[in-house]
Structure 1
Amino acid sequence: MGRAFVRAAADAGLDVVVLDLPGAIEAFPPPQGVRAIACDASDEAQVVAAFDAMAKDAPHLDAFINFVGFTNEPRPLEAMALAEWNEIITGSLTSAFLLSRAAIPLLRAADSAAIVHVSSTFGVWVPQSGFGPYAVSKAGVINLVRVLATECGPDIRVNGLAPGITRTAFLDGGTGRPAKQKKTDTEMVAAMVPAKRIAQPEDMLGALFFLIGPGSHYVTSQTLHVNGGLWS
């Protein structure tokens, strides 16, 4: 999803900087002209260093989009170790706090700025077992959007995007992370969706460009659901 947006943003002439895991950058180099900075979003020191490096070339940010989130093998909470719970909560929710905190000074330096945090349908509706910490973290992201919108307004608009299940590497574990053994049953999910298919990354582009663009200047604290009607 992030790669699809980066390509579209670069094609539109935007100056884009990518923060990603080293393995993801190596496996999927960004388009020519797009700078990539290696960063583990769950590591406070790496996040601070990444934004410091960005600030040397960019005095301000007009928009920041956070796509970070992952889950491990599906496992019910009663069988889950605390370490696994903490790993997913830290990787999918605490990372959003760390990234936001680091981005805010550069965003405040812009004339008008926006943050978009990518949540998930699982943040409001949990139709399958085994995704507890991921669902909880993405629900937290939705409320983090509200908190940041209150604290950062009027200088920075903060909104969320909640995709339905999307055909990305996330279904198999996520880019830069070990592959999952148990694959997502996409045919079963597609049968539940009124649109009768799961999403493609490109299905999210219109919503993302809207949320960072001039057409949403009076939109903040909202989470836009793009899920083919799976939840409303």
Structure 2
Amino acid sequence: MAASDAKIGRRFEGKVAIVTASTQGIGLAIAERLGLEGAAVVISSRKQKNVDEAAEKLRAKGIEVLGLVCHVSNEQQRKSLIDKTVQKYGKIDVVVSNAAANPSVDPILETQGSVLDKLWEINVKASILLLQDAAPHLQKGSSIVFISSIAGYQPQASMAMYGVTKTALLGLTKALATEMAPNTRVNCVAPGFVPTHFADFLVKSDTIRNSMEESTLLKRLGTTEDMAAATAFLASDDASYITGETLVVAGGIPSRL
């Protein structure tokens, strides 16, 4: 991790945290950060092999982890994720909704209905349905964090509809913060450009990478650890008076005033 383990506190001692799509990239970094800070983390993704490998990595760092297969658009797998978490740990304190898909680079007006359905289903609807299942088990003082994107503020041409679904998460954060108050806080992180498997186009060529870096004030791409640190802050009691907000973690890329 970017921050040395010595600098990491134990803000999640005794807490149980579910992180979706958490076997690689930003999701895995978030699970690792929460785990290093004392949480029992429940990680998931679509493939058992990926779940097993990620769980092994986290356990090797002394993290208590439960690894489960969960395709977030599969109702049974979503319910199983919540049920098995509660069976093992008895409660839920943190839910980080990180799963996302971007199946198309077509302009919005040329995007097929089935692709629109998939984008909505995975990027927005699945988050709502997962929280419907989780809500009865959330503790007083619990925290929800959605992972949106800088694209939610300014959808780019090649991923415009993806950006629109990420905009929806900004509104969902506001709406659920109102609905789940005062016992549960709901916030959102909007990452900038982070080179992960999901966003490998960022590093496919030096030209693209350089132009992306130049578009930031800090002249670098984000890291998965940057996103994990911001998520851990919002999920922790350090942010106990913050709800309904989106924290942009994008190196100064313009989002709003």
- Place the TM-score, normalised by the shorter chain, in its bin: 0.7 to 0.9
Runs of 4+ aligned structure 1 residues displaced above 3 Å come to 26-30
Aligned-pair distance for 1:65?
0.8
C-alpha distance 99-187 of structure 1, shift in aligned 2 (>3 A):
farther
Question: How far apart, in 2, do the equivalents of 1:197 and 1:72 lie?
Answer: 27
Please state whether the residue corresponding to 2:222 is helix, strand or coil: coil
C-alpha distance 172-206 of structure 1, shift in aligned 2 (>3 A):
closer
Aligned residue identity for 1:151:
E
C-alpha distance 168-26 of structure 1, shift in aligned 2 (>3 A):
same
Aligned-pair distance for 1:166?
0.7
Question: How far apart, in 2, do the equivalents of 1:4 and 1:125 lie?
Answer: 25
Question: How far apart, in 2, do the equivalents of 1:195 and 1:217 lie?
Answer: 29
1:40 partnered with 2:65 = no
1:3-55 per-residue CA deviation (whole Å, 9 max, x = no partner) reads 11222222222211112212532554451231111101112222112211111
1:17 partnered with 2:17 = no
CA contact (8 A) 1:42 1:91 kept: yes
Aligned-pair distance for 1:185?
3.1
Question: How far apart, in 1, do the equivalents of 2:182 and 2:195 lie?
Answer: 35
Please state whether the residue corresponding to 2:40 is helix, strand or coil: coil
CA contact (8 A) 1:65 1:115 kept: yes
1:49-64 → structure 2 map (5 Å cutoff): 49-64=80-95
Normalising to structure 1: TM-score of the pair? 0.88
| Aligned equivalent of 1:111, options 131, 134, 140 | 140
CA contact (8 A) 1:89 1:133 kept: no
Aligned-pair distance for 1:136?
1.2
1:204 partnered with 2:235 = no
C-alpha distance 166-132 of structure 1, shift in aligned 2 (>3 A):
same
Question: How far apart, in 1, do the equivalents of 2:109 and 2:182 lie?
Answer: 43
Question: How far apart, in 2, do the equivalents of 1:209 and 1:9 lie?
Answer: 6
Aligned-pair distance for 1:72?
2.4
CA contact (8 A) 2:191 2:227 kept: yes
2:252 alignment partner in structure 1 = 229
Question: How far apart, in 2, do the equivalents of 1:27 and 1:70 lie?
Answer: 22
**Share of identical aligned residues, percent?**
27
Question: How far apart, in 2, do the equivalents of 1:171 and 1:197 lie?
Answer: 15
CA RMSD of aligned residues (A): 2.1
May I ask how many residue pairs the two structures share in their alignment? 221
1:195 partnered with 2:224 = no
Q: Which runs of 5+ in 2 are unaligned?
A: 1-25
1:73-112 → structure 2 map (5 Å cutoff): 73-107=104-138, 110-112=139-141
1:170 partnered with 2:198 = yes
Question: How far apart, in 2, do the equivalents of 1:53 and 1:28 lie?
Answer: 18
Q: Which runs of 5+ in 1 are unaligned?
A: 174-180
